[in-house]
Chains A and B, each alone.
Chain A
Amino acid sequence: MTNRIFTVLGALILLVGLILPLWVSGYWVRTITLLFMLAGMAQGWNFIGGYTGYPAFGNVVFFGMGAYTTGILMNKLGLPFVPSFVASGVVGGLFAVLVGLPVLRLKGHYFAIATLGVAEAVREIADNWESLTEGGRGMTLPINYAPHFSHYVYYTMLGILLVAILTTYLLSRSKWIYGMVAIREDEEAAKAMGINTTWLKILAFALSGLFTGLIGGLYAYWNTFIDTNSVFTISYTLYMIIITILGGPGTVWGPIIGAVIFHALRTFLWLRFTELHALFLGFVIVVVVIFMPKGVMDVVRGRRRFTFKYFLQTVRESKV
C-alpha cells in the first residue's frame, strides 16, 4: 500500500519536475535546482550513513573535490563540461575508496572524527596548493552564456537525483542491502555470518562519493566561482545528515521528503530573517535529533502517528 502511494507520488513529482521550468520564474528554477542538489547529496549520505549506519561527517569532501575537479579541468586544461563532470564523479568515488580503505576500519566516534578530519585536512591542502587551486582567492570557471543555461543545470541536477534514487531503489531490492543493514545493526554478527563487510562498506562509501562528486562538479559549473571555504564547508555535511534523518535514514524516499521539508523551511526563513538563517540549521538539528531521530518515514510507514505522545515517547526512550 505504502509502496503504491510512493510510486504514484514519485511519478507525479517527476512529471511536475520535468515541466516546471517552463512556467516558473528564474528565482524558482534556481531554488528548485538547489532542492535537487540537497536531496541528491542527502541521498548520497544515505548509502553510508543511513543504510550502513556509519556516521560519516566528512562527505562535503567529495562535493569539494568534485567541484575542484571540474574547475581545474575546465579552467586549466580547457576541457568541455561533460568530461569534466564525469571526472568529478570518478574522483569522488575513487577518493571514497582510497580514504575508505583505512577509515572504514574505525567505528563510532573514531570514524565520525576521522571523516571530519579528512574533510578539514583536504580543505587546508586545497587552500595551500595554490598552483593547482589558486588557494583562497578562488577559481572562476568559463561562464556559459547560453540562454537556457539555468534549465540545463536544472535538468542535469534532476537527472543526477533520479539516478541516485534509482540506484538506492535497486539497491534496496538487492541482497547487498541486507548486508549493509546487518552491518548497521551488528557488524561483528554480520561478519560471523559470512558477509563481506569490507566490500559492502566500501561500496556504500564509494556510492556516496560518486553522487556527491557529480553534484559538486555540476555546482562548480553552475556557480562559475568556487573557493575552498564555500565548497568544503562543514554546513553541507550537516545538511546531508540532518535532511536524511529528518526524512528517515535508511529509506529510499526519506532523503527526498527531508530535503523538501528542510528546503521549504529554509527558503521561507531566508526570505524573512536573513541574519538568523545560519542559526536555523542549529535549531533544526537540535529539534530533529531530540524529538524525531527516526524521521518522517517512521510515521509514514503507518506504525505511528505524529502526536504529542509520539514525541514524548521518543524522548522517554533516550533520556536519563
Chain B
Amino acid sequence: MNDLTSRVRTLVYESIDEINPGLDPDNRLTRQDAERLFGPGSRLGSLGLVNLLLAVEDRVESGFGLSIQLTDSPALFSSDGPLRSLGAFIDCVADMVHKAER
C-alpha cells in the first residue's frame, strides 16, 4: 500500500503540474498535504477542481490501466470528504486504485 500511495502521490503531483499553468499565479496549488482542494479556504475554483480530478483520472488510467471515477463520486465533495486536503485526497485515490486492482 505504501508503494501504491507513493505512486499515486507522484501521479497527483504531475496532475497539479498539468493544471497549474491554467490557474492564475495566486491560485496555483502547492504540493503540501494540507492544501485544501474544495470548500472554504481552497484556492481552486470549480473549473480548476474539475480539471484536477480529470487529470488524475487520466493519469490513473494511463499509469495503472484502471478506470476510477472521481468526478462521479458525490462522497468526495462532502465537507469532511477527501478533498479537505491534498494528503487526504492522495490517500483516497490510492484506496480507489487498490480496490479497483482487486
Question: Real complex partners, A and B?
Answer: no
Q: Residues on A close to B: CB < 8 A?
A: none
